[in-house]
Amino acid sequence: MKRLLTIALFAAATTVAVSGAQAGFGAKTCKSWVSGTGSSVIKATVKMKARINWVQKTKAAYGTSYAKFSKAKNVAFSCNTVKVQGKWLCTVRAKPCKSVGLKSG
């Protein structure tokens, strides 16, 4: 009986520890909006250039840990539908975020 009680208590403690750890996994902390702009004579590259500019501005404002575009929240692109002075223009606006809690890589 004592052994069963010990096993049950161990199982319960392990479950609580694992679920507590999982609760922090993937949690994010975010900063204020950052906008990045891009222009290009090639339409296919203009969004990429806007993202690169967003990363540069975010890194300068909040540091490297926030400058991962893949972790950004509320991402919105605004791109023109015709060339302006021979170039495509695009702006991206997003909230920079970083993971907190357990290391997620």
CATH of 27-99, one of 3.40.50.2300, 3.10.28.20, 2.60.40.1890, 3.10.200.10: 3.10.28.20
Quick check: 79 and 64 in contact, CB under 8 A? no
Mind listing the pLDDT tens digit for each residue in 74-105? 999 999 999 999 999 999 999 999 998 765 44
For position 25, what pLDDT does the model report?
60
Residues 10 and 58: their CA atoms lie apart, in Å, by 45
What dihedral angle (degrees, nearest 10) is formed by the CA atoms of 74, 32, 26, 55?
80
The vertex-13 CA angle with 9 and 17, nearest 5°, equals: 170
Q: Whole-model pTM?
A: 0.71
Candidates 9, 5, 7; CA nearest to 17 is 9
Mind listing the pLDDT tens digit for each residue in 51-75? 999 999 999 999 999 999 999 999 9
Give the mean model confidence (pLDDT) for residues 26-31. Answer: 87
Could you state, in order of their start, the residue ranges of all structural domains in the chain? Answer: 27-99
